[in-house]
Chains A and B, each alone.
Chain A
Amino acid sequence: MSTTDKTTGAAAGDPAGTTVDEAAAGAQLSTAPLDDSPGDPVGIGLLGWARWTWRQLTSMRVALILLFLLSLGAIPGSLVPQNSVDLLKVADWKRNHPTLTPVYEKLQLFDVYSSVWFSAIYILLFVSLIGCIVPRSWQFVGQLRGRPPGAPKRLERLPAFTHWRTGTDPDEVLAAAGQLLKKRGYRVHATGNAVAAEKGYLREAGNLLFHVALIVMLVAFAWGRLFFSEGGKLVLQGGGFSNTLTQYDDFKSGSLFTADDLPPFSFTLDEFDATYERSGPQKGTARDFKAYVTYSEGAYGAPKKTEIQVNKPLEIEGSKIYLLGHGYAPVISVTDARGKVVFKDAVPMLPQDANLTSTGAVKVNDGYRDKNGKKEQLGFSGVFVPTFAGAGRGTMFSQYPGLDFPALALTGYHGSLGVDAGLPQNVYVLDTSKMTQFKDKDGKPFAVRMLPGESMTLPNGAGTVKFEGIGRWATFSVTHQPGSGLALTGAIAAVLGLAGSLFIQRRRIWVRAVTDRGTTVVLMAGLGRSESAKLPEELGDLALTLNSEAAPTAPEPAEAETEADPAVDTAAEGERA
């Protein structure tokens, strides 16, 4: 039952060349490379080897292997912490696995997606892809210009076949068949006693589009990596930000990025709003964050108001401003021994848990004088809780992230803050190595818990500290990622191409009409790619239409041993069997 039986198919007795064998009938139904084993190197010398390597690389088999390697190669990046995702986790992991660390570092397992080996896989894959796409596109253009191949000699051997007898003239049947097929969107080509038709070229076009779209996406990603920039900034309620390098708390960028690429804009954080679950088992879980901002585009743009939410970044001139986090900033004022206010500011504190128990430091650098008039620096480390459990109820841990019962505990130090050493300092932590803690009358560390509006008086008339009120802050990330529009275009094209490639069937239909024993025998056959579920249905539908519109069934003529088309013969034989 092999369809590659060459002896029957060869069009030897068909000088017009209008019939082909079954293998030829299916030829070029796709542009997929036929020969999957490129064989041995042909010719000698470098050129032969180069050609052989190229053919290997662009074969489907190698594409398959590379794809498989790509999927395997991506896996370690999910199991080993990645530098690009979470530096802290990487450091943690390294501390816990001192013996494995050097091995992993050699294998670039902390940077899988920029490692040499991962890059090698996908670069090879894309070279293969380009090497595959270009010839396939040419071939496809050729097919679009060409005509569907003629009818195979033995139509009954094709995957879907039907035939019947009719009284209509063969020429009329063929003309009607041609018209019908044309109406159904087939490309039709009449040859001799048969009509050849083909449909579903969009499958190939879709497949090519999909693969080209993959290349477009890769280029877009590469472009984005080279020119991206990303910076973080903490903004106090009422505070502002303008988009220059010096304003960022931290900043990363691609290798081709320059500071001139930062578009000029600025914004101020007018207000920050957060709502939390009030009751139930998930009490305290955040429900909604909103940052109300006023921004202006360009250096002197008119101010506009908007809000930024977690899922709704603000887009200004190709940069996107994301709301990342938020916290509280107790407003604290410090009065020195002389009664002069030497510090008054909102001090951002860093959340330590889900209920926003926050810690931070107040640093009074300049202007303070103690009761002897001596210049000194003051520092306070503090814990702020938005909802205090109540006096005598455990420690300073917040019970709820909202401001239900805010309280601030401070303990103070005097001496040198160490900021003059020129080293960058963590603004949230106090370096107490050159400071002395204030002590109370009993010699115990002096610490006071305050409610908003309350003050504490430092021992020995060193001054007072007042908890004036509570501000908020929010952190924003400003990212500029060129190429994302191109990537999105590529992605959409990929999905469309894929849908065309997988849902459209490329198929061929042949109709032959021959005279046999006084009536006309109509033979129809269809051929598609291997998985053609719909083909028999479609052929049946076409046959039925042709049968009812142009070639009604006629009765079988009486048995007679006349010379007939072999196809008709076998079909008739089958009938009698």
Chain B
Amino acid sequence: MTQLAVAANENLAHISNVLVYSSMAVYTLAFFAHIAEWVFGSRSKVGRTAAALTGAGSRTAGAAAAPAVTVRTKGGTAVLDKPKVVTRAAAGSRDLPDGPGAAGGTEKGDLYGRIAVSLTTLGFLIAAAGVVSRALSVERAPWGNMYEFSITFSTVAVGAYLVLLALKKNVRWIGLVLVTTVLLDLGIATTWLYTDSDQLVPALHSYWLYIHVSTAIICGAVFYIGAVGTLLYLFRDSYEAKLERGEQPGRFATSVLERLPAAGSLDKFSYRINAAVFPLWTFTIIAGAIWAGDAWGRYWGWDPKEVWSFVTWVAYACYLHARATAGWKGRKAAYLALFAFACWIWNYYGVNILLSGKHSYAGV
């Protein structure tokens, strides 16, 4: 490498650091905008959940079937509508409408919410540029150590959230939690995990790095979003159960929880998220085994990282089984999902930092 190229690379690495810090600043603004959204949203009187629950008792089976075809008369001509599909929740679920979101239907809250999403998008773009310039500075995939892993991880998590938003999925409620965690992740990355940009040790010279590590990061980011859904489901479910029993939850709990989607929706959301990435996680582990076979001469050697990947995989398999098993749906399955995600997080921070093994890229 010539002296000039080294200088250029150090420049790029510096630019990457500046970009990562800038994205943190922008995410911080997004954080405050989300707070404003929740605060203004709390001034609305939603009360939809409670109303729906009290109304539910008096509803009869037949009346729930809304009209599917309506005939309206406009200026004497009958305009015939297309058939509309009526959906019903499965038996036994509460069949509640989703909350209105953090803004609580208030105009001001919604405005701040939109500002927050715009800022998050901006923060994402800056962070992504930071990751890319880091990659350019080291002339390889930016996944050689925990610092690089962390900045990529949070960028992918925000990316997944923005994709879901773009697909018009109801996910804006996740915004505040997501931005908070991303700030935490980036804070830890820049203060404790920071490693100067550099080349890889020979064992990481492989195209499997691109395959195995990129899918691992995607899985983690998406599992994270699923876990947030599960956690909020548990809160919201207790809240709904309390209302159902005729008790009155605390004011703060009510204010926050009534604006979230219904427990059933949150549960479904996190199931779909987890189920969707589970095959990818399976693939990640298999790809890792193939790589280990090439790099270390054995496919599977119960290295701490391998152990915890296996534990995480089995825990998620357990969760998927629980969903298919009567008596294990709902809260019990949710606890399993959280356990599985805790394993994933431990596999990242705990195993890298506390347990030594062949996966010694921690570089802290």
Contact = CB atoms under 8 A, between A and B. Distances in A.
Query: Do chains A and B stick together as partners?
Result: yes
Interface of A: 1-5, 30, 32, 36-37, 60-61, 63-64, 67-68, 70-72, 74-75, 77-79, 82, 84-85, 112-113, 156-165, 221, 230, 277-282, 285-289, 309-313, 320, 322, 324, 477, 479, 481, 484, 487-488, 491-492, 494-495, 498-499, 502-503, 522, 524, 530-531, 533, 536-537, 539-540, 543-544, 547-548, 552-556, 570-571, 573-575, 577
Given A32-B324, A536-B85, A553-B83, 5 more contacts: A1-B91, A112-B302, A498-B282, A544-B83, A575-B67
| Range for the number of chain B residues in contact with chain A | 35 or more
A536 B87 contact: yes
Contacts of B294: 311-313
Contacts of A72: 311
Interface in B59-78: 59, 61-71, 78
A113 B302 contact: yes
Given A2-B91, A479-B297, A539-B85, A495 B286 contact: yes
Nearest to B268: A531
Interface of B: 1, 6, 59, 61-71, 78, 80-92, 95, 196, 198-203, 205-206, 208, 268, 271-272, 275-276, 278-279, 282-283, 286, 289-291, 293-304, 307-308, 310-311, 314-315, 317-318, 320-328, 336, 343, 351, 355
A575 B196 contact: no
A322 B303 CA distance: 19
Contacts of A230: 297-298
A68 B318 contact: yes
Contacts of A544: 82-83
A161 B68 contact: yes
A32 B37 CA distance: 45
Nearest to B321: A64
B205 A288 contact: yes
A466 to B, nearest CB: 34
Nearest to B206: A311
Contact of B278 (A79, A82, A502): A502
Nearest to B81: A553
B351 A78 contact: yes
Contact of A310 (B81, B203, B302): B203
Contacts, number: 232
A230 B199 CA distance: 31
A61 B325 CA distance: 7
Given A1-B91, A85-B301, A553-B69, A67 B85 contact: no
B302 A159 contact: no
Contacts of A37: 327
Nearest to A66: B318
Given A4-B91, A547-B82, A289 B282 contact: no
Given A1-B59, A70-B314, A540 B69 contact: no
B350 to A, nearest CB: 9
Contacts of A162: 68, 83-86
Contacts of A84: 301-302
Question: Which 9 residue pairs across A and B have the least CB separation, nearest first?
Answer: A575-B67, A78-B307, A71-B314, A553-B80, A322-B297, A78-B304, A310-B202, A311-B206, A574-B65
